[in-house]
């Protein structure tokens, strides 16, 4: 049956059809939906779980593979950094049941903090990698990846990118393969990676790569398309293949690479010999280009096609000197529309308090990164998952008394579970006088509302064990742990001042569920009494999208306002009326 599927759903379908027994992942745009779609299948077929982070997720998948099941782990590109430790040694142990690791890159950084190219991991960890170019291939490659994994006794990386992961195209849906789990056999020499065993496994890895390189020459993932007059040949992969065909049609020959590691060298040499001028068109780093050049084959690549950002058919057409259309624009200056915290976002009250107190804030990854944008401008750094808590410790260790009373770490509940808790152990253990604020909105927000160990629900939405954040922080050794409601500005201010003044590590849990959760009911909208508004613009410092200034007075957009009442507490003239009067 043919269906219009988003790339990530096609991957999930392919993994399901390929006999996936278990998926364990941590959400991350643009990879999240693979796991969400797998979670729609019953546990009797695919067991699905959110793990606290990608390292845990990959190790769970390893265990499942060891037990003879077909296992899956999905993450965004930076998640693979977290999972890199098990990844590199999994290359040595190999697998029992097929193990597929889906990693989604984000060229142009639609929702990411860097633009790293995951293909380097495949090369560095010596693992095969597949890269589909549309939803049909996403399904087929994902399904085939299990067989490849078991055939070559290796984890297989499936590389997605935003434009494949989040584009819908038509895919033919098939049936799930029926297979029995492989029996578990103890094989210490294969799975206990201490030096004596690992030394014996490394040659196995190298031999496997050679066998895979031979396989790559004739595998179904790579394809030479000899179209055109032979003047121009283009080696390309993934979404770039679509742009090349869109821009240049069948006027050029194309070597479409569906397996970027290991590359099919004979196929490349043969292709190069049949065309006059050879190009490599790939987004991000010159991975294929470097390999082709190392073969001594002249090729045009990054000098014509940027190492930065995404391409499109227009990029390709322009590079080949084709005329491209020019559109009409208005002459008016169009102001940008950056993302922002939602009206009623529980993070806003705490960020307002931090900005008001001129506190240095080491931030973290999530919706609350948006506390960095105007007008709050409350965040000083955002690096990676968990870096706020570890970072504030290092900051305070160097500046000591200069910074300790006016610096905090800010981290969300899910990010704290991911890798903030280890940083907090470090704060307690190494005894810095640091204050950590956990913005607990009871969900993983930015990636689209996934459950996590602090929410009390599992991936299916069924009740699950709920980590008690207060008890956890205390058990680590944090003596001062308190909870505030970020809708209560006075309470936030008091808590912040007291914890910054304390001469010991402290945690403030700023707790209020995400306003977008279906379980959160909006209160009546507020309005401004124009007679009372003195045009002081104090409410405008909140950066609430529901409040604007029209005709010199504040105005509330009743369609956006959820009645959180933070503006009402801020106004010295009582101009905000209505809402929840209680």
Partner 1 sequence: MSTTSIMIVGVGGQGSLLASKLLGKLLTDEGYDVKVSEVHGMSQRGGSVVTYVRYGDKVYSPVIGEGEADFIVSFEKLEAARHAACLKEGGVIIANTQQIDPMPVITGAAEYPEGVLEELTAKGVKVIGLDALTPAREAGSAKAVNIVLMGVLAKQLPIPAEKWLAAIESTVAPKFVEMNKIAFGKGLEQ
List of residues contacting partner 1 (CB under 8 A): 2-4, 6, 29-30, 32-33, 110-111, 134, 162-163, 166-170, 239, 242-243, 245-246, 312-314, 324-342, 367, 370, 373-375, 446-448, 537, 540, 543, 545, 547-549, 559
Give me the least distance between CB of 571 and partner 1, in Å please: 16
Place of tokens 């209020």: 512
Give me the least distance between CB of 336 and partner 1, in Å please: 6
Give me the least distance between CB of 371 and partner 1, in Å please: 12
Residue 33 vs 413, nearer CB to partner 1 = 33
Residue 300 vs 373, nearer CB to partner 1 = 373
**What residues contact residue 484 under an 8 Å CB cut-off, 6+ apart?**
350, 491, 492, 495, 508, 509, 510, 511
Residue 18 vs 412, nearer CB to partner 1 = 412
Residue 72 vs 164, nearer CB to partner 1 = 164
Helix axes 135-152, 195-218, angle to 10 degrees: 130
**What residues contact residue 486 under an 8 Å CB cut-off, 6+ apart?**
346, 347, 348, 349, 350, 439, 492, 510, 511, 512
Residue 341 vs 481, nearer CB to partner 1 = 341
Residue 431 vs 461, nearer CB to partner 1 = 461
Give me the least distance between CB of 112 and partner 1, in Å please: 8
Helix axes 421-429, 387-399, angle to 10 degrees: 20
Distance, in Å, from the CA atom of 125 to the CA atom of 205, rounded to the nearest integer, reads 10
Give me the least distance between CB of 136 and partner 1, in Å please: 11
Give me the least distance between CB of 245 and partner 1, in Å please: 4
Give me the least distance between CB of 450 and partner 1, in Å please: 12
Place of tokens 């700023």: 510
**What residues contact residue 473 under an 8 Å CB cut-off, 6+ apart?**
424, 481, 507, 509
Residue 64 vs 384, nearer CB to partner 1 = 384
Give me the least distance between CB of 345 and partner 1, in Å please: 9
Distance, in Å, from the CA atom of 102 to the CA atom of 33, rounded to the nearest integer, reads 11
Give me the least distance between CB of 338 and partner 1, in Å please: 6
Place of tokens 């033919």: 172
Residue 105 vs 134, nearer CB to partner 1 = 134
* DSSP conformation class of 361: E
Distance, in Å, from the CA atom of 465 to the CA atom of 455, rounded to the nearest integer, reads 9
Residue environment code for 426-455, b if the CB has 16+ CB neighbours within 10 A, otherwise e? bbbeeebbbbbbbbbbbbbbbbebbbbbbb
Residue 4 vs 501, nearer CB to partner 1 = 4
Cα dihedral value 214, 216, 220, 225, nearest 10: -110
Give me the least distance between CB of 76 and partner 1, in Å please: 10
Distance, in Å, from the CA atom of 409 to the CA atom of 381, rounded to the nearest integer, reads 10
Asked if 408 and 502 count as a contact pair (C-beta separation under 8 A), the reply is no
Tokens of 358: 């001129």
Residue 76 vs 143, nearer CB to partner 1 = 76
Residue 239 vs 261, nearer CB to partner 1 = 239
Residue 197 vs 548, nearer CB to partner 1 = 548
CB atoms within 10 A of CB 537: 12
In angstroms, the Cα distances linking 171 to 4, 9, 137, 180 are: 6, 10, 8, 27
Residue 128 vs 238, nearer CB to partner 1 = 238
In angstroms, the Cα distances linking 321 to 229, 304, 316 are: 17, 11, 9
Give me the least distance between CB of 172 and partner 1, in Å please: 13
Give me the least distance between CB of 346 and partner 1, in Å please: 14
**What residues contact residue 409 under an 8 Å CB cut-off, 6+ apart?**
361, 362, 364, 388, 389, 391, 392, 420, 423, 434, 435, 436, 437
Q: Is 421 helix (H, G, I), strand (E, B) or coil?
A: helix
CB atoms within 10 A of CB 384: 18
Distance, in Å, from the CA atom of 46 to the CA atom of 97, rounded to the nearest integer, reads 14
Give me the least distance between CB of 445 and partner 1, in Å please: 9
Tokens of 165: 């992961």
Give me the least distance between CB of 325 and partner 1, in Å please: 2
- Does the N-terminal peptide bond of residue 262 adopt cis geometry, omega within 30 degrees of 0? yes
Q: Is 281 helix (H, G, I), strand (E, B) or coil?
A: strand
Give me the least distance between CB of 15 and partner 1, in Å please: 20
- Does the N-terminal peptide bond of residue 375 adopt cis geometry, omega within 30 degrees of 0? yes
Residue 374 vs 398, nearer CB to partner 1 = 374
Beta bridge partners of 539: none
Residue 195 vs 327, nearer CB to partner 1 = 327
């Amino acid at each position: 049956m043919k269906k219009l599927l988003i790339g990530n759903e096609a991957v999930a379908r392919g993994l399901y059809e390929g006999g996936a027994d278990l998926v364990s992942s941590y959400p991350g745009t643009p990879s999240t939906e693979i796991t969400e779609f797998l979670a729609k299948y019953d546990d009797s077929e695919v067991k699905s779980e959110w793990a606290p982070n990608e390292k845990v997720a990959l190790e769970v998948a390893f265990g499942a593979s060891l037990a003879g099941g077909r296992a899956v782990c999905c993450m965004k590109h930076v998640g693979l950094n977290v999972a890199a430790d098990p990844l590199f040694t999994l290359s040595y142990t190999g697998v029992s049941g097929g193990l597929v690791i889906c990693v989604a890159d984000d060229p142009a950084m639609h929702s990411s903090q860097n633009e790293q190219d995951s293909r380097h991991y495949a090369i560095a960890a010596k693992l095969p990698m597949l890269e589909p170019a549309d939803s049909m291939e996403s399904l087929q490659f994902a399904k085939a990846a299990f067989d490849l994994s078991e055939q070559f006794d290796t984890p297989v990386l499936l590389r997605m990118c935003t434009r494949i992961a989040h584009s819908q195209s038509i895919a033919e849906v098939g049936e799930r393969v029926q297979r029995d789990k492989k029996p578990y056999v103890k094989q210490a020499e294969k799975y206990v990676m201490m030096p004596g065993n690992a030394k014996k496994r490394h040659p196995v890895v190298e031999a496997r790569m050679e066998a895979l390189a031979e396989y790559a020459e004739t595998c179904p993932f790579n394809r030479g398309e000899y179209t055109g007059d032979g003047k121009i040949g283009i080696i390309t992969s993934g979404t770039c293949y679509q742009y090349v065909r869109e821009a240049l049609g069948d006027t050029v020959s194309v070597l479409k690479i569906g397996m970027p590691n290991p590359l099919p060298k004979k196929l490349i040499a043969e292709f190069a010999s049949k065309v006059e001028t050879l190009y490599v068109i790939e987004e991000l780093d010159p991975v294929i280009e470097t390999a082709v050049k190392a073969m001594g084959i002249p090729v045009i690549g990054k000098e014509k096609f940027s190492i930065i950002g995404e391409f499109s058919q227009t990029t390709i057409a322009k590079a080949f000197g084709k005329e491209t259309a020019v559109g009409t624009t208005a002459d008016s200056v169009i102001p940008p529309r950056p993302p922002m915290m939602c009206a009623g976002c529980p993070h806003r009250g705490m960020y307002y308090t931090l900005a008001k107190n001129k506190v240095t804030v080491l931030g973290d990854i999530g919706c609350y990164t948006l506390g960095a944008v105007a007008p709050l401008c409350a965040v000083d750094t955002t690096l990676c998952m968990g870096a706020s808590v570890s970072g504030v410790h290092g900051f305070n260790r160097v500046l000591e008394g200069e910074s300790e009373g006016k610096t905090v770490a800010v981290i969300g509940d899910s990010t704290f579970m991911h890798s903030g808790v280890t940083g907090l152990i470090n704060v307690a253990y190494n005894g810095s006088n640091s204050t950590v604020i956990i913005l607990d909105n009871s969900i993983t927000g930015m990636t689209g509302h996934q459950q996590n160990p602090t929410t009390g629900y599992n991936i299916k939405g069924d009740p699950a064990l709920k980590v008690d954040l207060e008890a956890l922080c205390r058990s680590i050794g944090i003596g001062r742990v308190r909870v505030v409601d970020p809708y209560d500005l006075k309470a936030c201010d008091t808590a912040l001042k007291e914890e910054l003044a304390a001469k010991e590590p402290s945690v403030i849990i700023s707790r209020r569920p995400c306003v977008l959760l279906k379980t959160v009911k909006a209160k009546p909208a507020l309005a401004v009494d124009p007679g009372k508004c003195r045009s002081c613009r104090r409410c405008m410092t909140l950066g609430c999208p529901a409040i604007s200034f029209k005709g010199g007075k504040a105005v509330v957009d009743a369609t956006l306002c959820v009645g959180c009442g933070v503006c009402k507490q801020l106004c010295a003239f009582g101009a905000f009326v209505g809402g929840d009067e209680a």
